[in-house]
Chain A
Amino acid sequence: MPVMNVWYYLSGYIIISIRGKRRERLINLAINRGIFLRDIRCHKETAFMKVDIEGFKRLRPLARKTRCRIKIKKKVGFPFFIYRLSLQKGLMAGAFFFFFALYIFSSFIWFVEVSGTEKIDPDDVLEISRELGLQPGVFKENLEPEKISRDLAIRIPDISWAGVEILGTRARIQVVEKVKELETQEGITSHIVASRDGLILELLTISGQTEVSPGETVEEGQILIRGIISDDEEEEEEREEMYVRARGNVKARVWYEGYGSSTLLMKKSVPSGKQEEGFFVKGWGRVIYSSGVIDNPYEYYKMDSIKRNVRWRNLGIPVELVSLRFKELIPVKEELTPEEALERAKNEAREDAMNQVSDQADPVKKYYEILDTGDEQVFEVRFVIESIEDIGLEKRFDPDRGA
């Protein structure tokens, strides 16, 4: 039994050998007196056994009586270990000195470290903590971490909180810097309004009073989270209102629609390749000089004009130099098959819708809808992009003037 073995070890026992003709008599006597013998084994004329320390002392006289010779073979156990140690005085003194030194050295602060600084120089914090009495080499017992952390927060204006923690021989100063932006934001009051029409899916209000609930459709500009918190329970006259900066996240399903249309007969203009160029100078409301063609010579045309203002040093002279270029266009009628026309309308609709979609949108569904125009020649297509996005938009208001 291992548990018993531990007990035997702690209490200590002696392995003895007994020689003599009347060993059995000795064993009987011993057990009758309550001496506890264990593991008796015999080897020729000698019996070996284990006996506890107290039992051994009482066994001695019995051995004399039975004329047996008892010899100690081995002393086992913790008490003997301690006894042997105590004989080695140098070792004991060394061990004692070691623990003493360990205790002494561990009762000083050896390291001071600073964490949590971003803008403040950690050395500044160390410098001030040194003035407050926290530095390497200081006796730990005399330190008052609460007082030092309180004083640190007072002495360094840029920190909002300081904590001194002593971990063994290490002192850790934790610093939380003041966030300046937060202070300047105070005094702002705002609502969160819908940036576009949509169906509310999720609503997370951080501050403010929620005005809508998921599943509701909202219109552009509608207040979603109100920056005025009022207590509905109270009477109308005594109602107290609080103005806050509304914060929150509003996720909504929104639709972007693009339209496109196309007819079977398409009119298009194609440049013919002919072109004329002209140039004139305009000043004080009149044409001062001209060369080339300055009036349109074609029935269908496209005109490019480049205007330049004449400047002399910093002075602007009200004279314009204009060069013109006329390109002749030929109108072409194009006949499309119904499929081509439909495709064309679809492309137009998709482009129209795509242009409206914002960057943060997360499109979940896209589909075409062919609209009934009542005319076989005309196709109209609607392209719908369904997306889920944050439609919350902060809109400030002046609390003095109300919402």
Chain B
Amino acid sequence: MESKKKFQRAVADTFELPKEILLDLPRVNLVGNIQLYIENHRGVVEYTDETVRISISGGELVIQGKNLQIKNIFSGEIFIEGTIHRLDYEN
């Protein structure tokens, strides 16, 4: 399994392919500390106005801040607005 991941990464590096597609990683777009746009997520694990936990491949993305609200949500895409203080990756 580990060797497969390594191979994929090597392929992506060699051919300069976008890693989020090949490696199934989320693409996170952060505009200052007010907007967050995540592609390729796997659902909301926890949601309050101070913490949003989003499931991604290989772990969770924890967003902490104030007045967090989910502006839009589709399968695979999420758009969060509010005041973002921290962004943590947890395995």
Residues on A facing B (Cβ under 8 Å): 23-24, 27-28, 31-32, 34, 36-43, 47, 49
- Known A-B contacts A41-B69, A42-B68, A42-B69; the reply to A31 vs B75 at CB < 8 A is yes
List A contacts of B71 (CB < 8 A): 38-40
Give the dominant DSSP class at B's interface. strand
> What are 28 A-to-B residue pairs whose CB atoms are below 8 Å?
A24-B45, A24-B47, A27-B43, A27-B44, A27-B73, A28-B43, A31-B43, A31-B73, A31-B74, A31-B75, A36-B74, A37-B70, A37-B73, A38-B72, A39-B69, A39-B70, A39-B71, A40-B69, A40-B70, A41-B49, A41-B67, A41-B69, A42-B48, A42-B49, A42-B68, A42-B69, A47-B47, A49-B70
Residue of A nearest to B54 (CB): A24
List A contacts of B88 (CB < 8 A): none
Interface presence of B46 (CB below 8 A): yes
> How distant is B38 from chain A, measured CB to nearest CB, in Å?
13
List B contacts of A32 (CB < 8 A): 43, 75
Does the CB pair A43–B75 fall under 8 Å?
Answer: no
Residues on B facing A (Cβ under 8 Å): 43-49, 67-75
Task: Return the contact of A27 from the options B47, B49, B67, B68 (Cβ within 8 A).
Answer: B47
List B contacts of A38 (CB < 8 A): 71-72
Q: State A147–B85 Cα separation when bound (angstroms).
A: 82
List A contacts of B68 (CB < 8 A): 42
> How distant is B74 from chain A, measured CB to nearest CB, in Å?
6
Residue of B nearest to A45 (CB): B48
Residue of A nearest to B76 (CB): A31
Residue of B nearest to A28 (CB): B43
List A contacts of B70 (CB < 8 A): 27, 37, 39-41, 49
Top 4 A-B pairs ranked by shortest CB distance?
Answer: A40-B70, A41-B69, A28-B43, A42-B49
Does the CB pair B46–A24 fall under 8 Å?
Answer: yes
Q: State A49–B44 Cα separation when bound (angstroms).
A: 15
Q: State A36–B43 Cα separation when bound (angstroms).
A: 14
Residue of A nearest to B82 (CB): A41
> How distant is A361 from chain B, measured CB to nearest CB, in Å?
83
> How distant is B82 from chain A, measured CB to nearest CB, in Å?
9
> How distant is A51 from chain B, measured CB to nearest CB, in Å?
11
Does the CB pair A24–B44 fall under 8 Å?
Answer: yes
List B contacts of A34 (CB < 8 A): 75
Q: State A40–B78 Cα separation when bound (angstroms).
A: 11
Does the CB pair A23–B47 fall under 8 Å?
Answer: yes
List A contacts of B45 (CB < 8 A): 24
Looking at A41, A43, A47, the one whose CB has the most chain B CB atoms below 10 A away is: A41
List A contacts of B72 (CB < 8 A): 37-38
Residue of A nearest to B67 (CB): A41
> How distant is A389 from chain B, measured CB to nearest CB, in Å?
81
List B contacts of A47 (CB < 8 A): 47
Q: State A257–B71 Cα separation when bound (angstroms).
A: 97
List B contacts of A36 (CB < 8 A): 74
Residue of B nearest to A33 (CB): B75
List A contacts of B74 (CB < 8 A): 31, 36
Residue of A nearest to B70 (CB): A40
Residue of A nearest to B68 (CB): A42
Residue of B nearest to A24 (CB): B44
Looking at A28, A31, A34, A43, the one whose CB has the most chain B CB atoms below 10 A away is: A31
Q: State A240–B45 Cα separation when bound (angstroms).
A: 104
> How distant is B14 from chain A, measured CB to nearest CB, in Å?
35
In the complex, besides A37-B70, A42-B68, 6 extra interface pairs with C-beta distance below 8 angstroms are A24-B47, A27-B47, A37-B72, A38-B72, A40-B71, A42-B69
Residue of A nearest to B46 (CB): A24
Looking at A24, A27, A38, A43, the one whose CB has the most chain B CB atoms below 10 A away is: A24
> How distant is B31 from chain A, measured CB to nearest CB, in Å?
16
> How distant is B36 from chain A, measured CB to nearest CB, in Å?
14
Residue of B nearest to A38 (CB): B72
> How distant is B40 from chain A, measured CB to nearest CB, in Å?
14
Does the CB pair B49–A43 fall under 8 Å?
Answer: yes
